[in-house]
């Protein structure tokens, strides 16, 4: 059974940093690209970042480029999102999502972890 467990969200001050984690099981982690998708309160879904299965290629939304860094540890089946220079507009539930394969949609999602940026 595939499991995706994201964690690490909390209340942080503007300009602060936070690291999200996503632990997975039930599939060959290194064979699939992974993404982070966020949802601000009462708003729609926004893709944030993706990383290839090997970790060699990374992609970012313009809204987080230069502030967020995605990475993965294939030996520990874990995905990360390092978030620096946080802003109020980064407040959202962050979901970890598994690529179906060939970047064809996300077939498994974490339960979401809430990041609140406020003083």
Partner 1 sequence: AIRMTQSPSSFSASTGDRVTITCRASQDISSSLAWYQQKSGKAPKLLVYAASTLQSGVPSRFSGSGSGTDFTLSISCLQSEDFATYYCQQYYNYPLTFGGGTKVGI
How far the first Cα of the chain sits from its last, in Å, is 40
> Does position 95 bind partner 1 by CB under 8 A?
yes
Q: Which of 55, 60, 67, 77 binds partner 1 (CB under 8 A)?
A: 60
User: Which span (14-22, 23-31, 46-54, 79-87) binds partner 1, by CB under 8 A?
Assistant: 46-54
Give the Cα separation of 5 and 97 in Å (integer).
Answer: 10
Q: Is residue 62 part of the contact set for partner 1 (CB under 8 A)?
A: yes
From 10-18, 23-31, 44-52, 66-74, span contacting partner 1 (CB under 8 A): 44-52
Site size toward partner 1 (CB under 8 A) is 22
Strand segments, DSSP code E, in the chain are 3-7, 11-12, 18-25, 34-39, 45-51, 58-60, 68-73, 78-83, 92-99, 106-109, 113-117
Which residue, chain included where needed, has tokens 């970047």?
Answer: 103
Count CB-CB contacts under 10 A for residue 106: 20
**Cβ proximity to partner 1, 73 vs 107, nearer residue:** 107
Where does this chain bind partner 1 (CB under 8 A)?
35, 37, 44-47, 50, 59-62, 95, 100, 103-107, 109-112
């Amino acid at each position: 059974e595939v499991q995706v467990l994201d964690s690490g969200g909390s209340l942080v001050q503007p300009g602060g940093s936070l690291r999200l984690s996503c632990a997975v099981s039930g599939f060959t982690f290194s064979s699939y690209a992974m993404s982070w998708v966020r949802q601000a309160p009462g708003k729609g879904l926004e893709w944030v970042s993706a990383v290839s299965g090997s970790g060699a290629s990374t992609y970012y939304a313009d809204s987080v480029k230069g502030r967020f860094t995605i990475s993965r540890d294939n030996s520990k089946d874990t995905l990360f999102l390092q978030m620096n220079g946080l802003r109020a507009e980064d407040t959202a539930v962050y979901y970890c999502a598994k690529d179906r394969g060939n970047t064809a949609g996300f077939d498994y999602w974490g339960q979401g972890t809430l990041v609140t940026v406020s003083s």
